[in-house]
Every structure is written in structure tokens, then in C-alpha cells.
Structure 1
């Protein structure tokens, strides 16, 4: 029996809370809207939950239609952010015109679209230090995937690869025998095997497939959507970067 997609998560802002969606269009850089935005410090360096755990409490919301293949944002389409003690922030889904230089995340540095002073003040007030919200500028910037694994592929602000696949046996209530909500609830906030496997006893129940790309993306992606309930099949397994690059 083939595995199936049990849930889909999109993280519009890197290191902030995720959105659970019933379906998501596939793009060359990952699921649509995933890691398009980034919160940076006064030097343009990316924040992560490792150094700013409060980002895990920033909740993004996108219009329901945003996960439809042919949906185009209007002037009244927004990414809405909420966080404890903060008024909601509305970020237009129309691309901003201002560009900021010197943005960096891990090994990559370049320019990005700046979401303006209101968003900068919101994150600065929330984190208690000068911060800005930027958006990946795919019109002028490219962040390539490690060529040892997948030459020609690219990402936005995600960690190295467009897709992350996780499998885990569900949590079972020992008294009722009913499957619990994990790992779904955890994945809304964290994407860590440490969160899903807090003790060594659970080793082997969670599997991460981080080095995932969409092969067809090199020839252009159009009309491809992944949905909850879709089957998942392993077509090929490789044992080394050299074999993966073939």
C-alpha cells in the first residue's frame, strides 16, 4: 500500500509559524508562497528560531484562494500576521517596489524586496531590536541548490532544497487507542526531528527527506498541484551525492 500525503504545510515567512493547506501549487522553488519572506536584523542577516524563538509565535494567514493554481493577487490581497501583544499586520501580496541590498541567509547574499516601514516597525517592536521584513526578488535573484545533489535547481529562503518530506507513525493515546494530532500540531510551529523525537526511544519512527526537488521544474512547471490524500511513491533511492546528480 502506497503512502499518502496526510498534511501540507507552507511557511510564508522563514522561521515563523506554518499554514496547513489542503492543496498547494508546485513551483520550481517549492510550494507556492513557501519561504518567500524573511525577517532580517539591522545588518540584513536572517533571523532564525534558534536565535529568535519568538518568531514561532508569529502566525501568518493567506487568502484561501492563494493555494489555487491560477489565482492572482489583487490590490486587496494580503498576508496577515498576528503575534502575542501585537496588532495584526497586513502585508500586501503585490510585490513592493523598494529594493534593499546586503540581505543574507546562510551561504547566500544578495538583494531583496523591502516590505516597508510599517512591517519593519512591527517586527522591531515585537523582537525588541531593529528588524525588517523582506521578500525574495525572483525577478533578479537566484539562489541555487547544491549542485552536488541537484544541479540547475533553485530555492528562495528555504534551507537548501525546495521540499521537505517527513513521515512518522502517529501518536497513539495509550488509554483510548485513538491516534493523536502529532506530528501535525508540532509541524505548524517547528520542523525539527528533535521536536518530534524528544527521546532516543522513538528513533526510527521519523524520516526526513530534505534533499527533494521537482524534476520537471527544469523544463517549467505549470498546472501541477499536490493535495492532501495524494499517493507518495519512492521511484528511486540513491546512496551518494554523485549518484543523485546523475
Structure 2
């Protein structure tokens, strides 16, 4: 029997993940997921662990009012209020998307700039300023916040277990930053799924998730693997058309609540 075994939320893009037992889900994915982002102060371009692997140690706890509490080793915590959605708008870029979103203020910018060693700003995306998902894989009106391209990422536990066996050492699921982990399936069974239901919420499987250097960052230490694992092993058997795939991107086709332990039904 397939079941939802783990739920993860990442309030700050490329920050440390939160382990959840339950979460509301809507058209943007898990409530509060990737609604905040660090950008370069001058250009507004997004900053992630690809550039600064130490961001894996940056905590960002989401509060009930939509704000954040930032934390990092050796730093005092900083509470950041949800900014006004129509004030202090800043132009930012996520991959090929450009949008204007509210800036979280100087205190957050100073805290992050000191931590990361470069001038940066913290921004938040209101529901009214989200991005269109690539219509090659989605419908007009499908939206995403600050995630790379899709609202949700799913990985089968058996797929990670198979990869770890090939690499020859244990691997944390957090290297791959999924939202949903499913247990009870064969390795890579999720590659063949088209539609699934978890609880009362249906999801469309949009496309495989192409992987990058970020998978080589140990989420517990912030250090990159000297042997470029597990990406090197993935390239030996999961590469297609120049891209390495692991996990599946999902589009929600309803709203509701997810809870660890819920059954997962493959509809198509």
C-alpha cells in the first residue's frame, strides 16, 4: 500500500527545510512553501545554495501570520514581519521570470548580508504576484511562488534507497528538497504516474525534476561532496537529453489538507 511518509516545507527558497506532520495544500503547493527568497541587492537576481551552499544552514521558520523567524549558527534569531503586498516593491528575477514583490526591510537585509558575506535583500511573494508555470507542462492559470518551476516535488522512498545503495553510503532525503515522500512503491515507480490522489486532493504529475549541483550539498553541514555524489552516480543511469532526473514535479488539482500516513492512490 502506498502512503505519504514525509512532508517537507521550505519557507525560504534554499533555506533549511521544515519537517511537517500535516499541511494545507492549495494551488501554490504546501501552505507557506517558498514564499520568501534572498536576492542580490543590486540586480534582484535570486540567490540559492548553488552559489552559496552555506544557505543550507539558514533556518526560516514560518509563523501563522506569514512572517519568518530567521536563524543561523552563531547568530541571534531575527523575526521578520509579513510585508505589505503593495509597498516597497522590488524587481526580482527567478530563472527567466521577472516580477515585482515586496521587500522585507533593512533589518532582514542587514542580517542576511552579514551572514552571507554579500549585499542582499529578503523578499516575499504575495498570492497576487506569483508566476505562471511553464505552459509546456501546465495550464494557463497554474501558478508557482519562488520554487524553481513547479509548486510541489514528490520522491519515492524506494528511489532514494536504490540511489544510496548505488552510491554506497546513506543519503539524506533533504539533499533533494522534496515536499512529499511516498513509501510502498517500487524504485522510480513515480516516473510512470500521471495522476495521483492523497487524501481528498488530486495531483497531476507534470514532469521529471532535473537535478543540479545542489544535490551534492550535505544539508546537515552545508559542505559539497568532494566526489560530486550523488550527482555523479545519477548521471550514470538517470541522464536523458543532457538532463539528470530524480523525482517528479506535481501540480495540485484541488485544495485540502495532507497528513503523514495518508494513503496515496495512483489514478493514472
TM range (shorter): 0.7 to 0.9
Is the CA contact (8 Å cut-off) linking 1:11 and 1:18 kept in structure 2? Answer: yes
Q: Any idea what SS the aligned residue of 2:266 has? A: coil
User: Structure 1 residues 198 and 143 mapped into 2: Cα distance closer, same or farther (>3 Å)?
Assistant: closer
1:145 alignment partner in structure 2: 133
Q: 1:156–1:113: structure 2 CA closer, same or farther, 3 Å change rule?
A: same
Q: How far is 1:62 from its partner?
A: 3.0
TM-superposed CA distance for 1:181, in Å, is 8.8
The 2-side partners of 1:110 and 1:146 are apart by: 15
Number of residue pairs aligned between Structure 1 and Structure 2: 208
Give distance in 2, aligned partners of 1:95 and 1:24.
24
User: Relative to structure 2, which stretch is displaced further, 88-97 or 148-157?
Assistant: 88-97
| Alpha-carbon separation, structure 1, partners of 2:106 and 2:263 | 44
**Structure 2 residue 12 is the aligned partner of structure 1 residue 18:** no
Q: Residue 162 in 1 paired to residue 151 in 2? A: yes
With normalisation by structure 1, the TM-score equals: 0.74
Q: 2:247 aligns with which of 191, 208, 220?
A: 208
Query: Paired residue for 1:130?
Result: 119
Matches within 5 A, 1:56-67: 56-63=56-63, 66=64
- Deviation, 1:199, is 6.2
- Match for residue 102 of structure 1? 91
Per-residue deviation, 1:99 = 2.6
What residue in structure 2 maps to residue 244 of structure 1?
none
Unaligned runs of 5+ in 1: 67-72, 173-179, 237-246
Matched, 1:79 2:68: yes
Q: Distance in 1 between matches of 2:170 and 2:19?
A: 13
Indicate the SS of the match to 1:6. strand
State the TM-score, normalizing by the size of structure 2. Answer: 0.68
Does the Cα contact within 8 Å between 1:15 and 1:49 map onto a contact in 2? Answer: yes
Give ranges in structure 2 of 5+ residues lacking alignment: 163-168, 180-208, 217-228, 239-244
Q: In 2, Cα distance between the equivalents of 1:189 and 1:154?
A: 18
Map Cα deviations across residues 201-231 of structure 1 (whole Å, 9 max, x no partner): 9968x95112x11123xxxx4xx00110011
Report the equivalent of 1:30.
29
Who is 2:105 aligned against? 116
Please give the alpha-carbon distance, in whole angstroms, between the structure 1 residues aligned to 2:95 and 2:26.
Answer: 22
Cα distance in 2 for partners of 1:102, 1:229 equals 41
Q: Answer 1 or 2: which has greater strand percent.
A: 2
